[in-house]
Structure 1
Amino acid sequence: MTQHVIVLGAGVVGVTTAWQLAQAGFSVTVIEQESGAGLQTSFANGGQISVCHATPWANPSTPMKALKWLWQEDAPLLFRWQRLFGRDFDADLWRWGWQFLQQCQSINADKNLVQMVNLGLYSRQILTKVREQTHIDYDCLTKGIMHFYTDKKEFEQAHAPTERMRQLGCDREIISVKQAILLEPALASCADNLVGATYTALDESGDAKKFTQELAKHCQNQGVQFLFNHQIERLLFKNQQITGVKVVTEQQSQVLTADKYVLAMGSYSPFLVKDLGVHLPIYPAKGYSATYPVVDKDKTPYVSLIDDEYKLVYSRLGERLRVAGTAEFNGFNLALNAVRCQAISRRVQQVFGNVVDFSQPNFWTGLRPMTPSNVPIIGRAVNAQGRIDNLYLNTGHGTLGWTHSNGSAKAMSDILLGKKPDVDFNFVGLT
Structure 2
Amino acid sequence: MKVVVMGAGVIGVTTAYYLARQGAEVTVLDRQLGPGLETSYANAGELSYGMTSPWAAPGIPMKAVKWLFMKRRPLFIWPLISPTMWVWGWQMLKNCNDDSYRVNKSRMVRISNYSRDVMPDLIAETGIEYDGRAQGTLQLFRTEKQLKGSKADQEILAEYDSPYEVLDRDGCIAAEPALAAVRDKFVGGLRLTADRTGDCRMFTVALAEKCAEMGVEFQYGQSIRAIAVENNKVVGIDTEIAGRITGDAYVCALGSFGPRVLNPIGIRLPVYPVKGYSVTLPVTDDAMAPQSTIMDETHKVAITRLGDRIRVAGTAEIAGYSGRLGPHATDTVRYVISDLFPQGGDVSKAEGWTGLRPMTPDGTPVLGPSKYPNLFLNTGHGTLGWTMACGSGRAVADVVLGNVPDISLEGITAERYGV
TM-score, length of structure 1 as denominator length: 0.94
1:389 to 355, 363, 373: 373
**More deviation, 60-69/353-362:** 60-69
CA-CA distance at 1:321 after TM superposition? 0.3
How far apart, in 2, do the equivalents of 1:429 and 1:111 lie? 16
Unaligned 5+ segments in structure 2 are none
State the secondary structure of the residue aligned to 1:245: strand
The 8 Å contact of residues 241 and 390 in structure 1, kept in 2 or not, is answered as yes
Q: Are 2:243 and 1:244 equivalent residues in the alignment?
A: no
1:166-245 to structure 2, matched below 5 A, reads 166-245=158-237
State the secondary structure of the residue aligned to 2:390: helix
Question: 4+ runs of 1 displaced by more than 6 Å?
Answer: none
- The one-letter amino acid of 1:93's match is M
- The one-letter amino acid of 2:326's match is N
- The one-letter amino acid of 2:12's match is G
- The one-letter amino acid of 2:126's match is T
State the secondary structure of the residue aligned to 1:267: helix
Is the alpha carbon distance of 1:62 and 1:429 closer, same or farther for their aligned partners in structure 2, counting shifts above 3 Å?
closer
How far apart, in 2, do the equivalents of 1:417 and 1:326 lie? 38
Q: Are 2:35 and 1:37 equivalent residues in the alignment?
A: yes
How far apart, in 1, do the equivalents of 2:414 and 2:221 lie? 31
The 8 Å contact of residues 282 and 345 in structure 2, kept in 1 or not, is answered as yes
Q: CA RMSD in A?
A: 1.4
Q: Are 2:281 and 1:283 equivalent residues in the alignment?
A: no
- The one-letter amino acid of 2:101's match is A
The 8 Å contact of residues 80 and 330 in structure 1, kept in 2 or not, is answered as yes
CA-CA distance at 1:160 after TM superposition? 1.4
Task: Give the aligned partner of residue 91 of structure 2.
Answer: 99
CA-CA distance at 1:69 after TM superposition? 3.0
Q: Are 2:154 and 1:134 equivalent residues in the alignment?
A: no
Q: Are 2:314 and 1:330 equivalent residues in the alignment?
A: no
Task: Give the aligned partner of residue 407 of structure 1.
Answer: 391
1:427 to 401, 412, 418: 412
Task: Give the aligned partner of residue 24 of structure 1.
Answer: 22
CA-CA distance at 1:400 after TM superposition? 0.2
State the secondary structure of the residue aligned to 1:339: coil
CA-CA distance at 1:430 after TM superposition? 7.8
Task: Give the aligned partner of residue 124 of structure 1.
Answer: 116
CA-CA distance at 1:55 after TM superposition? 2.0
CA-CA distance at 1:324 after TM superposition? 0.4
How far apart, in 1, do the equivalents of 2:209 and 2:277 lie? 27
- The one-letter amino acid of 1:137's match is E
Deviations 1:172-225 (A, max 9, x none): 232222111111101212211222111122210000000000000000000000
How far apart, in 2, do the equivalents of 1:70 and 1:282 lie? 23
CA-CA distance at 1:339 after TM superposition? 2.6
How far apart, in 1, do the equivalents of 2:414 and 2:198 lie? 33
How far apart, in 2, do the equivalents of 1:329 and 1:308 lie? 20
- The one-letter amino acid of 2:264's match is D
2:330 to 326, 341, 345: 341
Report how many residues are paired. 415
How far apart, in 1, do the equivalents of 2:412 and 2:63 lie? 31
The 8 Å contact of residues 6 and 29 in structure 2, kept in 1 or not, is answered as yes
The 8 Å contact of residues 365 and 412 in structure 2, kept in 1 or not, is answered as no
Deviations 1:139-181 (A, max 9, x none): 0011111111102112211111122112112112322221111
1:306 to 292, 295, 306: 295
Task: Give the aligned partner of residue 86 of structure 1.
Answer: none
The 8 Å contact of residues 285 and 367 in structure 1, kept in 2 or not, is answered as yes
Deviations 1:211-268 (A, max 9, x none): 000000000000000000011110111121001110112xxx5111000000000000
State the secondary structure of the residue aligned to 1:359: helix
Deviations 1:52-84 (A, max 9, x none): 023211111211122223355742122113x1x
Unaligned 5+ segments in structure 1 are 84-88, 382-386
- The one-letter amino acid of 1:55's match is S
How far apart, in 2, do the equivalents of 1:38 and 1:206 lie? 14
The 8 Å contact of residues 270 and 360 in structure 2, kept in 1 or not, is answered as yes
CA-CA distance at 1:429 after TM superposition? 5.6
**More deviation, 333-342/203-212:** 333-342
The 8 Å contact of residues 379 and 430 in structure 1, kept in 2 or not, is answered as no
- The one-letter amino acid of 2:204's match is T
How far apart, in 1, do the equivalents of 2:152 and 2:332 lie? 30
Q: Are 2:57 and 1:65 equivalent residues in the alignment?
A: no
How far apart, in 1, do the equivalents of 2:95 and 2:77 lie? 17
Task: Give the aligned partner of residue 246 of structure 2.
Answer: 257
CA-CA distance at 1:337 after TM superposition? 2.8
State the secondary structure of the residue aligned to 1:366: strand
- The one-letter amino acid of 1:112's match is N
CA-CA distance at 1:314 after TM superposition? 1.0
CA-CA distance at 1:325 after TM superposition? 1.2
The 8 Å contact of residues 288 and 343 in structure 2, kept in 1 or not, is answered as no
The 8 Å contact of residues 66 and 78 in structure 1, kept in 2 or not, is answered as no
How far apart, in 1, do the equivalents of 2:39 and 2:18 lie? 20
- The one-letter amino acid of 2:179's match is L
How far apart, in 1, do the equivalents of 2:195 and 2:69 lie? 35
